[in-house]
Structure 1
Amino acid sequence: NIQDIAEKNWDMYNLTMSSVVNWELFPTKSTLLSALKCLTSEQIQLISTYTFVHNRAVWKGFPDLFVWNPVSKKCKFVEVKSHSDRLSHHQIVWLDKLVEFKIDCEVCKVSANGAKKLLQRTPSIIELD
């Protein structure tokens, strides 16, 4: 089972530099396992196979965020774009692949409301004891 494999690999390699896994994305083993529970073994296999077949070039365009709810076991890949930004070819390919793999994904458009006001404010100084 994928959980057992992930747990074993975490125990063996979590402090090891890797070109395949960025262990820093998962600060604890339980974080990794709770995220994996939101995807089926087949979905994990499809993503893994696709990335290994296409090697490093495929990481271009990979969504910005992976969000999940460990209670409902639902997850979503999210590509974040400003109102003036457009999806690149690589991003479209990844989103299409995720849809093909039956993995929830979306594009989130963000705007900087009030950003000018924030920039004009005098910064606060906070003293720590």
Structure 2
Amino acid sequence: MPDSIREQVVQAFADRLNAKRGEQLDSEQDLPARVIWDPSETAEKLKYRKYEMTLTLNVGEMAKVDTTINSSVQGNQMLAGLLNDALASDQTLGGLCKHISYTDSVLDSPDPGQNEMIILVTFQIVYETSNTSPYQ
């Protein structure tokens, strides 16, 4: 059976960001690392047997602390890189969706003694699907 439109959208976005799916960030893995979660979605009924879906995707990125720069600067650099990767190219993921929007972020600066910097970013991806099948 083919993948649903939602699955195709999530996988295309994960591939774009080089992010693992549904895993926890772990300081034991090779850093920097990105992970993506797809926790929620809303649907709006359109004309002609279609739904407009708004999919919320959360992306986390973890990197080793760069002690040569301020943690705020490092977090902002990480955020800029992630936003560039997510938004700078084709906003339709090859025609799978209508658009991608950045909605919010959190920069989790390390406490003293911590060696990792974490950012958490939320995106919304809008796509259409049939109201009778998630595969169309």
TM-score by length of 1: 0.23
Structure 1 or 2: larger strand share? 2
Structure 1 or 2: larger helix share? 1
TM-score by length of 2: 0.22
